[in-house]
Amino acid sequence: MIDTYYQQGLQLIQSGRLEEGLCCLDVFLKQHPMHSRGWNDAGTALLRLARSEEAVRYFLRSVGLPNHPPQVYGNLIAGYMSLNQPASAVRWLKSACLEAQLDHAVFSKMATCLEQAGDAASAMDVLYRGKEHCDPARILDQHIEALKSKRAKIAFFCGADGPGFLKDIMEYTRRRYPVRFFEGKTAQDVFDLMQWSDISWFEWCTELARIGTNMPKVCRTIIRLHRYEAHINWPQLINWDNADMLMTVGNEWVMHAIRHWVSDIDRRTMLVTVPNGVDVDAIDYKPRQPGKKIAFVAKLRMVKNPMLLVQCMAQLLKIDPEYKLYMAGERHDLLLRHYLEYAANELGISHAFIYDDFQDDILGWLNDKNFIVSTSVIESQGMGILEAMAAGIKPVVYNFPGARGIFGAAPLFNTPEQFCQKILDTSYHSHQYRQFVEQRYPLRQQLLRVNEIFAKFEKGPVSANTPLHSEYQSAV
């Protein structure tokens, strides 16, 4: 008898007699409250009757039960959209996409609602999700370009240290905002591009950042400091009252250095930490075992502490002379190059040092290595080490200031003796090294945080009486 109510309800709904069909389904659901499909069917009828709040409640009841029908996710999105609640609808996008319950028109409508609500960042995110899941014909491209043309204009200024750390951020930003990259030569060129932009990003806290912040205030300004700039007096040369944000990449000791030069930096601008992201999807992983090949990847500079590296290898080779150190990176510093050759020869370990110089394919070069070692006295983050870890290679890292906060305690050593213990320890867990990077430093997390900063500044464009940073202290 109860099953008859369900079948009769569906038949009535299909024939357009929605109220009668809904009554039958309600009788059925009172007796079968765990029937997830029934809740979804009743919700569909409610949605057609424009009783959207009730429909959403029924769909939520369905999705909370075992064996719910896949179309309930699309129905939930339709319900929230009919209530003009696109932000609530967004929460169900992933599940609906996995069940192939949406088409490009739904994404376009949702993006339009979000844009009208003043949330252009979420609107753009929705459109790109649509492109990824259900837009092989690229129908959404026109909507994306139209939205992008209305968004905040972003200018990137990159100092002489190059755009190496900026590549992924630039690519991500170009897809969502109008972007220009500084190619000028004069201070006036800097000011002209700042006037064009709504947000100016200065990569490296060096000369371009000094010029930009000493110009009249015409846009939001972000300065990203990596590490070395803080250990010389560059922070003193910046007009921090004209900077909306100082972004660092993660080492707490870098902030100690900045405060050495600018004691009131916390009061004068907003401080944000956004670690560099590792594109783990682009790094081939393989399980590895202990072995005798140690990798050292760095441009040979004093900060990389090659003196300690020689002492560590000398100690290790006393225990086992079969270990080899493979060094990849430029060796333009003649003093350090001669030091390495001389010290290794004096210690009788020259045979264990293999110099491979700069590598175009560093991950390919690392393929047969068992350890990645760093003896640096300081690193902002140590991207080379993290990328090697993502490939499954065991890290052995000198305990420089801030190292524990970046890598945790497990890979750290303080003395050549402890270095040997780390190398000779037979425990080796490639999957853990990869997982550490995936969880702590995923590229997507970095890009989302940068996009969030842009979106906050986009909603509050600069004006003569706009606070430079206080309204964003809790936002990022």
Which domains does the chain possess?
Answer: 2-148 (1.25.40.10), 151-277+445-472 (3.40.50.2000), 280-440 (3.40.50.2000)
**pLDDT of the residue at 98:** 74
Strand, helix or coil for residue 28: helix
Helices 18-31, 2-14: crossing angle, 10 deg rounding? 160
**pLDDT of the residue at 2:** 53
Of the candidates 205, 99, 193, the one whose C-alpha atom is nearest the C-alpha of residue 160 is: 205
Helices 443-459, 120-134: crossing angle, 10 deg rounding? 140
Strand, helix or coil for residue 181: strand
CA atoms within 13 A on the CB side of 241: 3
Of the candidates 407, 374, 390, the one whose C-alpha atom is nearest the C-alpha of residue 299 is: 374
Retrieve residue 319's tokens. 């225990």
Alpha-carbon distance of 200 to 203, in angstroms, equals 10
Strand runs labelled E in 189-323: 199-203, 220-224, 245-248, 270-273, 293-297
Mean pLDDT by 10 residues, the chain (476 residues): 78 89 90 92 92 93 91 90 87 80 83 87 89 78 92 91 87 95 94 96 95 95 93 94 92 91 93 93 93 94 94 96 94 91 94 90 93 94 94 96 94 97 95 96 93 90 48 38
Going across the sheet that includes 394-398, the strands are 353-357, 324-328, 293-297, 371-374, 394-398, 412-413
Residues comprising the chain, all counted: 476
Alpha-carbon distance of 54 to 75, in angstroms, equals 12
Alpha-carbon distance of 302 to 310, in angstroms, equals 13
Alpha-carbon distance of 154 to 198, in angstroms, equals 6
**pLDDT of the residue at 472:** 41
Of the candidates 368, 294, 354, 352, the one whose C-alpha atom is nearest the C-alpha of residue 318 is: 352
**pLDDT of the residue at 468:** 44
- DSSP-derived letter for residue 277 is P
**pLDDT of the residue at 474:** 35
**pLDDT of the residue at 164:** 82
- DSSP-derived letter for residue 431 is H
**pLDDT of the residue at 462:** 62
Strand, helix or coil for residue 355: strand
Query: What are φ and ψ of residue 5, in 5° steps?
Result: -60, -40
Strand runs labelled E in 219-302: 220-224, 245-248, 270-273, 293-297
Q: Classify residue 464 as exposed, middle or buried by CB count within 10 Å of its CB (0-12, 13-18, 19+).
A: exposed
